[in-house]
Amino acid sequence: MPILNQTSPFRLSALVAIPALLVGLGGSGASAQDHVGQYEQADVEFGVRLYNANCVRCHSETGDAVAGVDLRTGTYSRADSDAALMALIRRGIPDTAMPPNDFSRAELTGLVAYLRTMRDFDLRGVTLGDETRGHTLFTGKGACSSCHRVSGQGPRTAPDLSDIGAIRTAANLHQSLLDPSGSMLPVNRPVRAVLSDGTVLTGPRLNEDTYTIQLIDQSERLRSLEKSDLRELVAVTTSPMPPATDVLDEQEVADVLAYLLSLKGLN
């Protein structure tokens, strides 16, 4: 029995097939519990941020730096449930280097969500260059800042990178630099909307429902559009960003990567 490919006037259609996916952005901040074994994307992202700020020093980005402990397995001998894992993180492990932690309930939820899904992340080691040189390349030769916004500076028509180092792994970012289209997350696909008068709007999608879509257009204005009023609505799956190696050498890519990983956002 085939898996149907549905099309609908109410659904945003893609121009080409979906590329491989990496870490996404967004998600809900609801407080209710999801199905056990499933973790809300917002919680996972919050957990990545907390892990990188609090845990990575001992456990490393790959989660296997402590002898006999591999966090990527998602199963832990001292904690057989999410509640037990939260209690362990909060309590610490006496007579080991694992200290007690004063995390809130929401923070513990995020950490557990990330730990349980850590194996899904690309945690390969990659070469990092010089952060300062990377910043110079970002605003200069690489021309990254001509599209991307960081800490309130730059245009809003490409993903804001202000906290990209807190929510993406080095390997994820490296892959995005080398293959922007192939690794572009569906959530980051710009949309192209043609109004009834022929006006073309392009820009990042902010939200969508059955009847409407919200986006930032090329003039950096918030637009809310009724789908039934549009002549055309598509998601663009080819990234406007060229591969970094088109303009940067290997060392320069490593430098930009180091700079991106230094971007941790306001918090």
Partner 1 sequence: MATFVLPVHLMSTITVTRKFLIVLSLVALLPTVSAAQVTFERLLNADDEPHNWLTYSGGYSSNRHTKLDQIHADNVDDLELSWVFQASSLEAFQATPLVVDGIMYLTEPVNNVVALDAKRGSVFWKYEYTPSSQARPCCGAVNRGLAILNDTLFLATLDGNLIALDAIAGKPLWQTTVADPTQGYALTLAPLVIKDKVIVGVAGGEYGIRGYIDAYDVETGEQAWRFYTIPGPGEPGHETWENDAWMTGGAPAWLTGSYDPDLDLTYWGIGNPGPDLNPAQRPGDNLYSDSVVALDPDTGELEWYFQFTPNDPYDYDSVQIPVLIDAPDGNGGTLRLMLWANRNGFFYVLDRETGRFLNGDNFVPVNWASGLDDFGRPVQTPQPPGTTTFPGIQGGTNWYSPSYSPETGLFYVSAWEAYGSNFEPQEQEHQPGRVFLGGRPANPFGAGANVPGLRRGHINNWTEAAGGGAVIAIDPRTAEERWRVPMTDVTSSGILTTASNLLFTGNREGHFHALHAETGELLLRKTLGGMIANGPMSYMVDDTQYVAVAAGHSLFVYSLPEE
Site residues, partner 1 (CB under 8 A)? 1-6, 8, 10-14, 18, 20-38, 40-42, 44-45, 74-75, 80-82, 116-117, 120-122, 185-187, 189, 205-211, 235
Min dist CB 31 to partner 1, Å, is 6
Q: Exposed, middle or buried, 267 (CB in 10 Å: 0-12/13-18/19+)?
A: exposed
For partner 1, give the closer residue by CB, 22 or 128. Answer: 22
Minimum CB separation from partner 1 for residue 48, in Å? Answer: 8
Q: How many CA atoms lie within 13 A of 30 on its CB side?
A: 8
**Nearer CB in complex with partner 1: 17/97:** 17
Smaller CB distance to partner 1: residue 38 or 151?
Answer: 38
Shortest spacing between CB 258 and partner 1, in angstroms: 21
Of 75 and 251, the one with the shorter C-beta distance to partner 1 is 75
CB of residue 251 vs partner 1: minimum separation in angstroms? 28
In this structure, what is the dihedral angle of CA atoms 97, 98, 99, 105, given to the nearest 10 degrees? 170
Closer Cβ to partner 1, 6 or 267, answer by number = 6
Instruction: Provide the minimum distance between the beta carbon of 135 and partner 1 in the complex, in angstroms, as a whole number.
Output: 25
Cα distance between residue 221 and residue 20, in whole Å: 30
Residue 41's nearest CA partner among 60, 56, 22 is: 22
The candidate with the shortest Cα–Cα distance to 216, out of 204, 234, 207, 232, is 204
Minimum Å distance from CB 192 to partner 1?
15
User: Whose Cβ is closer to partner 1: residue 162's or residue 172's?
Assistant: 172
